């Protein structure tokens, strides 16, 4: 199967046909830029890593084989995307009026919940880019954000891209407060939540891309409550960046 993510075409080889459904939205007939093969060794390594976390959180937890294959592919895909100036971020993103907003925060902070408040507040003007993994393409004509649909239990991500307009660091608080973030904190935010390669040369390239994002894109810090009012406060600020 060939799939296309953030403009990069991958030839995928794996044995579990049930995994096809996890990639079919991104299927393409275009020529491949990169090739990924999933071996039994890859699946064993992914099983140990993912199941260890799952069992520690939920003793009865089990992972379907197709999700195991998917995770193994995504792990191999991250450094290959980086070759093409695409960074993978753990975060949630939404598009409104063809402007892309990315929200970064640790697990269980409420990124997805916040994007759903936007959907409730602004209705069809809002399109979910992705609620778990975002693909940010740094190119000569700008910086763009794509969905990935990598989370098997999440809503399908956006197939197309939109210009990235602002990156927001999200945290919970007693009130809704949003303000500009300086470059030093912006760099900390993107390096904390973006893919960092173990290869020294790729790591340096990733840092260059992080720096360009922090330099060219406005960043904001949002403290918010779990309420639809947080979406309105955020939008009132972000529409002017």
What domains can you pick out in the chain, each with its CATH number?
2-83 (no CATH), 86-238 (3.40.50)
pLDDT at res. 59: 52
pLDDT at res. 108: 87
| Whether 220 contacts 237, CB under 8 Å | yes
pLDDT at res. 240: 95
Helix 200-216 vs helix 183-193: crossing angle, to nearest 10: 130
- Residue whose C-alpha is closest to residue 159's, from 131, 129, 180, 116: 129
pLDDT at res. 67: 86
Question: Distance between CA 208 and CA 218 in Å, rounded?
Answer: 17
pLDDT at res. 61: 56
pLDDT at res. 86: 98
Distance of CA 43 to the CA centre of its chain: 22
pLDDT at res. 46: 86
pLDDT mean by block of 10 residues, the chain; 241 residues: 97 94 94 96 85 55 81 96 98 96 94 96 96 96 96 78 98 97 98 96 97 98 97 97 93
Question: Distance between CA 54 and CA 62 in Å, rounded?
Answer: 7
Angular region, 28: left φ>0, alpha ψ -120 to 50, beta rest: beta
- Residue whose C-alpha is closest to residue 241's, from 91, 97, 33, 70: 97
């Amino acid at each position: 199967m060939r799939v296309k993510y953030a403009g990069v075409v991958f030839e995928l080889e794996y044995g579990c046909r049930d995994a096809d459904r996890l990639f079919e939205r991104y299927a393409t007939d275009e020529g491949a830029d990169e090739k990924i093969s999933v071996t039994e060794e890859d699946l064993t390594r992914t099983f140990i890593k993912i199941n260890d976390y799952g069992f520690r959180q939920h003793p009865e937890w089990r992972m379907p084989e197709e999700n195991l294959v998917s995770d193994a592919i995504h792990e191999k895909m991250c450094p290959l995307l980086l070759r093409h100036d695409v960074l993978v971020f753990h975060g949630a993103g939404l598009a409104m009026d063809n402007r892309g907003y990315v929200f970064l925060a640790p697990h269980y902070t409420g990124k997805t919940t916040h994007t759903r408040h936007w959907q409730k507040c602004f209705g069809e003007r809002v399109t979910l880019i992705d609620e778990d993994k975002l693909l940010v393409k740094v190119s000569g004509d700008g910086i763009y954000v794509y969905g990935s649909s990598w989370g098997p239990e999440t809503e399908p991500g956006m197939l197309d891209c939109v210009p990235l307009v602002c990156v927001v660091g999200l945290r919970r608080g007693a009130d809704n407060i949003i303000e500009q973030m300086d470059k030093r904190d912006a760099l900390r935010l993107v390096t904390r939540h973006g893919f960092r390669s173990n290869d020294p040369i790729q790591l340096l390239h990733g840092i260059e891309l992080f720096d360009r994002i922090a330099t060219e894109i406005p960043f904001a810090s949002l403290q918010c409550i779990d309420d639809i009012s947080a979406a309105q406060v955020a939008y009132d600020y972000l529409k002017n960046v």
